[in-house]
Amino acid sequence: MSLVLGIETTCDETAAAVVRDGRTVLSSVVGSQAALHEPYGGVVPEIAARAHIETLNGLVEKAMRQAGAAPADLTAIAAPNRPGLIGCLLVGVSAAKAFAFAWERPLICVNHVEAHLYSACLRSASACAEMAGPPLPALGLVISGGHTSLYRVHDFVHIECLGATIDDAAGEAFDKVAAILGLGYPGGPQVDRLAGDGNPHAVKFPISLLGRDSLDFSFSGLKTAVLYQVQGGAAPAARRGAASSNAGPAPRPPGRGARRTGPPIPPRSADIAASFQYAVVEALRIKLRRAAKRHPVRSVIIGGGVSANRRVRAMMEALGGELGLPVYLPAAEFCTDNAAMIAGLAAELHRHGVTHTLDTPVIATI
């Protein structure tokens, strides 16, 4: 049996978790910093790093207590050393090194983005069914606030990148569109909710495919198109906290047969959100399909904050049916940043003999 303590501090979530045998999550605690960054409309790196320092030890203690684990029970201690905000990475890796040194346990450093891929392999301790891992090789998609990348996962030690965004990440586009619509931060879940009330075909936003063969992504043009739509069409900003209602005071277009005079009525915020979301999901679907046709795989796995999106999840299920491949989606609690995925991937690396020395550096880029 293996028992790994995972630590996560790459961005604005401080988290700790204990995972058994790389699969079963005995504890997973996440301290969100959203309220600290909300006034700035985005993550402030120095505030994030300082907040990690203040909360990490308490969260590690809580995760160990909830798991009923003592330091001597641990097989290893893990933290991501790349990619992320450099000050934030330093806090987590330094803490993991200190625990590893003090408790005389091996240190394992993982890639945060690859850990997102692993999140679909996790099950909570309360889940009854034993879950087999995805058959490999798998096609992997990570859609997060910082990354949008396609992978072929040969095994979790050998992960080949097939394509990535050349500008904004999908989550970043969600956050920026949320800001344009006045929905607050973090915006992805709010756009998801608002889009539920909208018509995905109300506005034809561009779906950037970057040529016939490309497996890369681009979302910055789409974000700009939303900005022009809102500014040019004078689409109303939704009130903060009103995301699930018919946000925006613009009247609905008149029904069939109604007479309309004056300038065209701008689309509602909900329609813009739904149309934007449709364009993102279509780009993801088309690239996944393209990659699956080109690279023989036995399953499809996704991870990252945007994999919590309802339309993304529905598209993935449908695509799996179309391709005849099983699809592995992370449980909601493991989509966004968490430490269970760090501990899980580290357990897998440890099984393959990977450990790291105490002079392992942190690296901001992938």
User: Which residues sit at the interface with ligand KG4, rule CB under 6 A?
Assistant: 11, 116, 144-146, 171, 174-175, 186-189, 192, 304-306, 308-309, 336-337
The pairing of strands 76-82 and 107-111 is: parallel
Where would I find the beta strands (DSSP E) of the chain?
A: 3-8, 13-20, 24-32, 76-82, 107-111, 123-124, 138-143, 148-155, 158-164, 299-303, 327-328
Nearer Cβ to ligand KG4 (73/197): 197
Give the residue, chosen from 144, 165, 229, 269, that forms a contact with Zn ion under the rule CB under 5 A: 144
**Measured distance CA(154)–CA(162) in Å, rounded:** 12
CB of 272 to ligand KG4, least distance (A): 15
- Residue 345 corresponds to which amino acid? L
Q: How far apart are CA 292 and CA 323, in angstroms?
A: 8
How far apart (Å, rounded) are the C-alpha atoms in residues 365 and 82? Answer: 6
Please, what is the Cα angle at 106 between 100 and 111, to 5 degrees?
95
22 contact choice in ligand KG4, Zn ion, none (CB below 5 to 8 Å, kind-dependent): none
Closest distance of CB 353 from ligand KG4, Å: 27
Q: Which stretch binds Zn ion (CB under 5 A): 140-148, 190-198, 267-275, 357-365?
A: 140-148
Q: Which of ligand KG4, Zn ion, none is residue 188 near (CB under 5 to 8 Å by kind)?
A: ligand KG4
When the beta carbons of 266 and 304 are compared against ligand KG4, the nearer one is 304
> Is residue 175 near Zn ion by the rule CB under 5 A?
no
Partner that binds at residue 150, options ligand KG4, Zn ion, none, CB closer than 5 to 8 Å by kind:
none
Nearer to ligand KG4, 135 or 241 (CB): 241
| Partner touching 174 among Zn ion, ligand KG4, none, CB below 5 to 8 Å by kind | ligand KG4
Structure tokens at 308: 């919590």
Cβ closer to ligand KG4: 9 or 336? 336
Closest separation between CB of residue 360 and ligand KG4, Å? Answer: 20
CA distance 115 to 112: 5
Closer to ligand KG4 by Cβ: residue 119 or 299: 119
Distance, CA of 220 to CA of 218 (rounded, Å): 6
Cα distance between residue 316 and residue 302, in whole Å: 9
- End-to-end CA separation in angstroms for the chain: 31
Residue 13 engages Zn ion in binding (rule: CB under 5 A): no
Q: How far is the CB of 85 from Zn ion (least distance, A)?
A: 11
Q: Which residue number, 61 or 317, has a Cβ lying nearer to ligand KG4?
A: 317
Least separation in angstroms between CB 95 and Zn ion = 18
Residue 112 Cβ, how far from Zn ion at the closest point, in Å? 6
* CB distance 300 to 319 below 8 Å: yes
The answer to whether 25 and 19 are in contact (CB under 8 A) is yes
Q: Which of 172, 175, 337, 348 binds Zn ion (CB under 5 A)?
A: 337
Minimum CB–partner distance for residue 65 and ligand KG4 (Å):
25
Q: Does 269 bind Zn ion (CB under 5 A)?
A: no
For residues 150 and 163, what is the distance between their CA atoms, to the nearest angstrom?
A: 5
Tell me, what DSSP letter sits at residue 39? G
Q: Would you say how long the chain is, in residues?
A: 366
Please identify, using beta-carbon distances, which residue of 235 and 308 lies nearer to ligand KG4: 308
| Token reading at 283 | 């780009």
Note the residues at the interface with Zn ion (CB under 5 A): 144, 337
